[in-house]
Chain A
Amino acid sequence: GQNIDQPTEMTATEGAIVQINCTYQTSGFNGLFWYQQHAGEAPTFLSYNVLDGLEEKGRFSSFLSRSKGYSYLLLKELQMKDSAPYLCAVRFFGAGSYQLTFGKGTKLSVIP
């Protein structure tokens, strides 16, 4: 299977900027998603990247480098409510089918 690597935990200060990295194996790559998952709740969609570059959506931005197998999620003007696990998910094409593989998630803690 494909390995999706992201840090287990991160801590950042309210009002600051934080970058959550995600690396993956490039073979068969066909798109990358970021989700936020508050404790006890379902994941909610944040962003989608399939081409190189930066996608900006309000306080959240996501970057992709296909050649490096690398993405990051950038959160600006952090708020306490941003404390949550963030999941990186990569769609791969292989053996005639697509499959979405999720990383284990990065637990972000925003402190005052």
Chain B
Amino acid sequence: GAGVSQSPSNKVTEKGKDVELRCDPISGHTALYWYRQRLGQGLEFLIYFQGNSAPDKSGLPSDRFSAERTGESVSTLTIQRTQQEDSAVYLCASSSGGVADSYEQYFGPGTRLTVT
């Protein structure tokens, strides 16, 4: 079936605006992750959803960031009052098991966010 998809692929927004990024995981994958990758940097964990458990939000950099997931399907990452330092590629990944398992994470193509 289809892989992980993300939309939009590119987003340019003005400082102070809110943005919403979408992730469609692979069907049947119970775990979903959001990462941020700034230019020249490694992947930075943001948030992790596993089934119906409470999400692990320990990587969210500030209260301007939030994410939701509907059941075991679509997830949205919302950034309020965007700042220039929020400019990055936002990657979503899903896996068939939880983070404690050996299951590999399948990544989406990412959303490139540019805050002007």
Contact = CB atoms under 8 A, between A and B. Distances in A.
Interface of A: 4, 30-31, 33, 41-45, 48, 50, 87, 89, 91, 93, 97-105
Interface of B: 4, 33, 35, 40-45, 48, 56, 58-59, 91, 93, 98-100, 102, 104-110
15 contacts: A4-B42, A31-B102, A33-B104, A42-B91, A45-B106, A50-B102, A91-B99, A91-B100, A98-B98, A98-B99, A98-B100, A99-B59, A102-B35, A102-B42, A102-B45
Interface majority SS (helix, strand, loop, mixed), chain A: strand
Interface majority SS (helix, strand, loop, mixed), chain B: loop
B107 A43 contact: yes
A43 B58 contact: no
Contacts of B42: 4, 87, 102-105
Contact of B56 (A93, A99, A104): A99
Contacts of A31: 102
